[in-house]
Structure 1
């Protein structure tokens, strides 16, 4: 879990973009799966897609999310009451305005009666029930999971999860000897050094190990996996644990912007969510798509491809990274700078080390000191730090006198440099080391959890 803070040239985080396919009209589809906390929801009636919104029978979804529901046939109105969250939801058939606690909300599709069944928009009901709702067009899954962010913690070799206030939500489990961050409502856990499966935010194993040897985190509704009988090959499973793409790749990256880099033989190409190779495996290395382009290497040169596999930028640099904020870090000789999507070196290669842009700023280093520049190359935070990292949640870890703290975008210390090391903030917490123990701190610098 430790990640020592040092500025370096790296590709960092790719941006994710997910959307539903545009299609007019109404159609029922047995292919659409609804998954709540990692478990499939089954109904006598299939979900319906209309105007890019998924609709489901109202009685099923209200009951599943803990609402007591009533229906007025004369007014064709639906009322759901959740006493645990003090939430009252009101919808009316054929009307695109709904209410939560009497506050009006606009719906993409109105509730409607089809073949005697009343359907309601799933996203609206899920969010009213305090759930995140994500549509994954590749595997055709609507996933609902809790809004609450959880963070892995360990004491004496036992792993559990806390929330952002430091409260233990999933108790320390003797059966889990390692646990990872949640992605898309599921987290990988290990026991005795071996893959155990995926748990949901309630701590329940919803995708058991079964025949899986191991797996990677979910991204865009899919996760790379290997089986006991195909340890040398990767395939992809969906959020229900169902194999969607059989094991066949030597290496497999997470899906990003609808495509995933895979190794076929000794070369790399890209597949779509159906497993179809859409960019031939011709390249010596391949990074995830970011801002519509993917960085690949071919015969010692770095290239940027679009999603058709067309070379958009052909570089002559010794190193390169994916695009962020319209710019990509490159190495020219012993120095680093940034190119735009036309391949022009818009920020000169004058830096000893750089990070990619994050939240509008990039950490760079000159003569042993780190600071920050904006996308025009203008220095906005002076070069006063021994090391600096990316901005996340509005703060960036920086180092002074061999201690780490956090600064804001004005370069001011928000959390004084007293930590031995610290990871970037993620969902409001940073994992750090303080006073000879591992801790989580919030954005005020308060320790919300300490390893005893």
Structure 2
């Protein structure tokens, strides 16, 4: 073993590189980006997580849920369905009349009918009707609410600390002696299985798993292979649909990859005709097959290829970042803007670069300097960072990371939604943020601090995954094998693979 003594300057430069390396490590382990599903909504009723056969979906920033499971949960039965309206009735004889093609519904209320306004008209995807949360909450009798600072939505709220109760249903996955172990944020084991699952269960009902290195299908929370889907590769469900990859023989005897989508029953609803597809968001998915376009849940092309397209991203917050070749000052230039779900420019392509929106904010670069914009294109933080300084990732839990380049060094800060730059006391460099905690490193390894700069977990881990749902993951290299630990916000190890 060769030991190299690094200078002070070299050590500090290494920490800046380490943050980028951790993102690469996440990709290597198949966990994807920390922010890939930051805006996905989780719906609870009376404290119980609702698993929908499809959805929820988000259309232009409005969360919509499938009507049938919501209606049946609230005690409604279907009386009639035609091309004008859907009529439901509960056990007491009260009716709900949903007028299709409009934003109004009639609900019986204390012996009379009350008009309920919806933000979005009902939508039909793959034969399933979707309604917005305004109507779903009204049918439940208590409206709906979002738990502050989270993506957790309640229909009929629980009493007490809702955030703590709902987050206890999040499952973290670890590998332990060749098995996949699922535990909650208190360290309680809920499942042990021989299936290999790379991502956390999270709040999901079904996750893709492998057996002996080969894709098997989707496992449920009982450890059963609920959906037998032996495709070459499988993605996670998003808005009720998951992408799949198949290897298709070519005429010269080789193979090519084709991708499509399946539903939670394992049925192919959009055939594998694309060379590349992405998760659904805002009711649409980006697909590529010669040309790049956006399709809906029925596989219909909603937004064809944008003129001059150079690059595009998936929708988020009702907008998609699109980079095109355009003309500025009589010159041909490449610029980025945002289209809405009808394919029209909502924010014109004027930026050198812009990220996808998250929590209503995106990073944007103009004339070589970066700042923050809202969904109207207004500057929240005017462009001011360049020459090595940059934002990292997207907004997550109310903050985004900012790396500042100095003469000899790099430092990290957090920026809030008002554009305020926040220094973590006693901490110049850190690698990530999640759920009110930052991950940081020193010569001993990686650990966690809170936003006051107080050490919660000493840096004793080889690498860590940032906190989510009240807990964080730490991993130690023990005899050339990584052993996992789950740590709560008190800094206690509540579960370990040792």
Same fold (TM over 0.5): yes
Q: Give the deviation of 1:179 after TM superposition.
A: 4.2
Secondary structure in structure 2 of the residue aligned to 1:166: coil
Work out which of the residue numbers 288, 292, 300 in structure 2 matches 1:276.
300
Cα pair 2:323 2:349 within 8 Å, conserved: no
- 1:75-104 deviation digits (Å, cap 9, x = unpaired): 99xxxxxxxxxxxxxxxx9879xxxxxxxx
Aligned to 2:492: 446
Cα pair 2:229 2:266 within 8 Å, conserved: no
Aligned to 1:118: none
Q: Does 1:423 align with 2:465?
A: yes
Secondary structure in structure 2 of the residue aligned to 1:425: strand
Q: Give the deviation of 1:224 after TM superposition.
A: 1.0
Work out which of the residue numbers 355, 359, 363 in structure 2 matches 1:321.
355
Q: Does 1:216 align with 2:235?
A: yes
Work out which of the residue numbers 143, 146, 149 in structure 1 matches 2:170.
149
Cα pair 1:332 1:349 within 8 Å, conserved: no
Aligned to 2:451: 409
Show the 5 A alignment for 1:353-432: 353-355=390-392, 356-366=394-404, 367=406, 368-382=410-424, 385=427, 387-401=429-443, 403-432=445-474
Q: Give the deviation of 1:171 after TM superposition.
A: 1.8
Q: Distance in 1 between matches of 2:86 and 2:458?
A: 47
Structure 1 residues 371, 95: closer, same or farther in 2, change over 3 A?
A: same
Aligned to 1:349: 385
Q: Distance in 1 between matches of 2:444 and 2:428?
A: 7
Structure 1 residues 148, 328: closer, same or farther in 2, change over 3 A?
A: closer
Q: Does 1:16 align with 2:40?
A: yes
Q: Distance in 1 between matches of 2:155 and 2:58?
A: 16
Q: Distance in 1 between matches of 2:465 and 2:491?
A: 13
| Cα-Cα RMSD | 4.3
Q: Does 1:302 align with 2:348?
A: no
Q: Distance in 2 between matches of 1:56 and 1:160?
A: 43
Q: Does 1:290 align with 2:326?
A: no
| Residue-pair matches, total | 361
- 1:355-385 deviation digits (Å, cap 9, x = unpaired): 2322222221222111222334332225854
Structure 1 residues 7, 336: closer, same or farther in 2, change over 3 A?
A: farther
Cα pair 1:423 1:430 within 8 Å, conserved: yes
Gaps of 5+ in 1: 22-30, 36-40, 59-74, 77-92, 97-105, 112-122, 133-144
Q: Distance in 2 between matches of 1:148 and 1:204?
A: 18
Structure 1 residues 338, 110: closer, same or farther in 2, change over 3 A?
A: closer
Q: Give the deviation of 1:336 after TM superposition.
A: 3.9
Q: Give the deviation of 1:433 after TM superposition.
A: 1.8
Cα pair 1:6 1:387 within 8 Å, conserved: no
Q: Give the deviation of 1:240 after TM superposition.
A: 1.8
Structure 1 residues 403, 244: closer, same or farther in 2, change over 3 A?
A: same
Q: Distance in 2 between matches of 1:327 and 1:314?
A: 16
Cα pair 1:440 1:448 within 8 Å, conserved: yes
Secondary structure in structure 1 of the residue aligned to 2:138: coil
Q: Distance in 2 between matches of 1:260 and 1:409?
A: 36
Cα pair 2:247 2:257 within 8 Å, conserved: no
Cα pair 1:372 1:383 within 8 Å, conserved: no
Secondary structure in structure 2 of the residue aligned to 1:202: coil
Q: Give the deviation of 1:320 after TM superposition.
A: 2.5
Choose 237-246 or 213-222, whichever is displaced more: 237-246
Structure 1 residues 379, 107: closer, same or farther in 2, change over 3 A?
A: closer
Show the 5 A alignment for 1:130-209: 148-173=169-194, 176-182=195-201, 184-209=204-229
Cα pair 2:448 2:456 within 8 Å, conserved: yes
Structure 1 residues 318, 124: closer, same or farther in 2, change over 3 A?
A: closer
Choose 290-299 or 351-360, whichever is displaced more: 351-360
Q: Distance in 2 between matches of 1:314 and 1:107?
A: 36
Cα pair 1:387 1:400 within 8 Å, conserved: no
Cα pair 2:450 2:456 within 8 Å, conserved: yes
Q: Give the deviation of 1:221 after TM superposition.
A: 1.1
Aligned to 2:274: 249
> Which has the larger share of helix?
2
- 1:262-285 deviation digits (Å, cap 9, x = unpaired): 1131x3221112211111123333
